[in-house]
């Protein structure tokens, strides 16, 4: 009996070994039965990528961004990671397909953005050994000229945006900088451009200060309505490579006092009555980049936004939450649309 058990055990081990060997000879498949590894004959090198905007191992962001492209004979799952060698910043892109087309302008996974210095790019394809390329980063991007696959800068208050201020540092009023509203018999609202304690984008930013004219606190003070989001092919939303609201993010730096009950209220509108709004209670101190997918913004009348290029106006406003206040302030800077994800991942 012991010999029978012994032989059966050997037989089972032999079957298991043969099964594992046969399995290892096949390419891995996902739960749907599709190959997740490229063919063994596909040889991945860093030369499979083209680096438009890199010359002699140098990327100068003052000139333009870095465009990374590649074409492959079969579908691959890929990742491109760019990192500063001093560990101060990093950014990762990933995708699946036969082609790669990535635009990078020194933006990072989170603050801070990349600064000049030594960097490394790692190109990884699933089931293959990663390959790398070192380069030197120079300059910094003002995000003035962007490819539509990356995004479009609306306004940074330093005349780099597609519908930027009329004159740096001076509010030009309706028709140039936008229609400012809020000041009436119940409140006083002031809109100015300031440089002190500026945002990470640098330069000027917009400052809204509101005050009740009586002893009654208020929920809302006012804001500025900026027109021209899709007025021409070079307008911010027309310049994007997509019109799908689910694939476009609106991003901006916002600041107020954590204890002031300030609420950022940003609206995108087709008309004065048809708008989609993003509200954010300012419960932090200092500047913070805030982002929202256009399809996640709330309609005031239940209308579904299906085409971002239908939008005509953007309103930057000052509200209050969770309680009313007699006075309040808020700061805005670097309003930018991005495609495929927010400006920062975190």
pLDDT tens-digit profile of 306-336? 999 999 999 999 999 999 999 999 999 999 9
Reported for 193-202, long-range contacts at CB under 8 A and 24+ positions apart, including other chains, are: 193/157, 193/165, 193/168, 193/169, 194/331, 195/169, 198/333, 199/253, 199/255, 199/287, 199/331, 199/333, 199/334, 200/111, 200/112, 200/113, 200/253, 200/287, 200/289, 201/156, 201/253, 201/333, 201/334, 202/158
| H helix intervals, the chain | 2-24
Q: Which residues are 187's β-sheet partners? A: 184, 212
User: 201's torsion region: left (phi>0), alpha (psi -120 to 50) or beta?
Assistant: alpha
For the residues of 299-332, what is the DSSP string, one character each? Answer: ESSSPPP--GGG--EEEEEEEE-SS-BSEEEEEE
Distance CA 317, CA 332 (A): 9
Low-confidence ranges of the chain (pLDDT < 50): 1-7, 11-27, 31-33
Q: What's residue 175's pLDDT?
A: 82
Q: What's residue 7's pLDDT?
A: 46
Q: Give the start-to-end residue ranges of the domains of the chain.
A: 46-138, 151-339
- Contact, 180 vs 174, CB < 8 A? yes
CA contacts within 13 A on the Cβ side of 116: 8
Q: What's residue 26's pLDDT?
A: 46
Q: What's residue 173's pLDDT?
A: 86
User: 8's torsion region: left (phi>0), alpha (psi -120 to 50) or beta?
Assistant: alpha
Distance CA 244, CA 267 (A): 17
Q: What's residue 343's pLDDT?
A: 98
46-138 has which CATH code?
2.60.40.1930
CATH class of 151-339: mainly beta
Give the predicted TM-score (pTM) of the model.
0.88
Reported in sequence order, the residue ranges of 160-310 that DSSP labels E, i.e. its strands, are 179-181, 187-194, 205-212, 220-227, 248-255, 262-269, 275-281, 288-293, 298-299
Residue indicated by tokens 């330069």: 203
Q: What's residue 154's pLDDT?
A: 98
């Amino acid at each position: 009996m012991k010999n029978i058990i012994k032989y059966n055990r050997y037989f089972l081990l032999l079957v298991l070994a043969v099964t594992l060997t046969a399995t290892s000879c096949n390419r891995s498949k996902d739960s749907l039965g599709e190959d997740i590894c490229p063919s063994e004959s596909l040889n991945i090198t860093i030369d499979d990528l083209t680096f438009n905007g890199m010359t002699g191992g140098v990327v100068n962001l003052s000139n333009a961004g870095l465009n990374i492209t590649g074409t492959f004979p079969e579908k691959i799952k890929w990742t491109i990671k760019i990192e500063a060698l001093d560990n101060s910043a990093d950014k990762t892109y990933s995708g699946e397909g036969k082609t790669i087309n990535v635009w990078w302008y020194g933006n990072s996974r989170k603050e801070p953005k990349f600064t000049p210095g030594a960097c490394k790019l790692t190109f990884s394809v699933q089931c293959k050994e990663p390959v790398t390329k070192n380069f030197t980063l120079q300059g910094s991007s003002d995000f003035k000229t962007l490819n539509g696959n990356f995004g479009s800068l609306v306004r940074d208050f330093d005349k780099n945006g597609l519908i930027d201020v009329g004159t740096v540092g001076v509010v030009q009023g309706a028709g140039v900088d936008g229609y400012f509203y809020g000041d009436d018999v119940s409140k006083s609202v002031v809109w100015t451009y300031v440089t002190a304690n500026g945002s990470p984008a640098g330069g000027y930013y917009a400052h809204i200060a509101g005050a009740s004219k009586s002893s009654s606190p208020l929920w809302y003070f006012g804001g500025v309505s900026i027109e021209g989001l899709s007025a021409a092919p070079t307008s911010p939303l027309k310049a994007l490579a997509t019109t799908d609201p689910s694939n476009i993010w609106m991003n901006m730096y916002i600041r107020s006092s954590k204890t002031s009950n300030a609420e950022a209220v940003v609206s995108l509108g087709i008309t004065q009555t048809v708008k989609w709004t993003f509200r954010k209670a300012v419960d932090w101190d200092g500047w913070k980049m805030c982002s929202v997918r256009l399809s996640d913004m709330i309609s005031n009348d239940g209308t579904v936004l299906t085409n971002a290029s239908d939008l005509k106006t953007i309103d930057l406003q000052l509200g209050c939450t969770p309680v009313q206040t007699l006075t309040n302030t808020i700061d805005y800077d670097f309003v930018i649309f991005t495609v495929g994800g927010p400006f920062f991942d975190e």
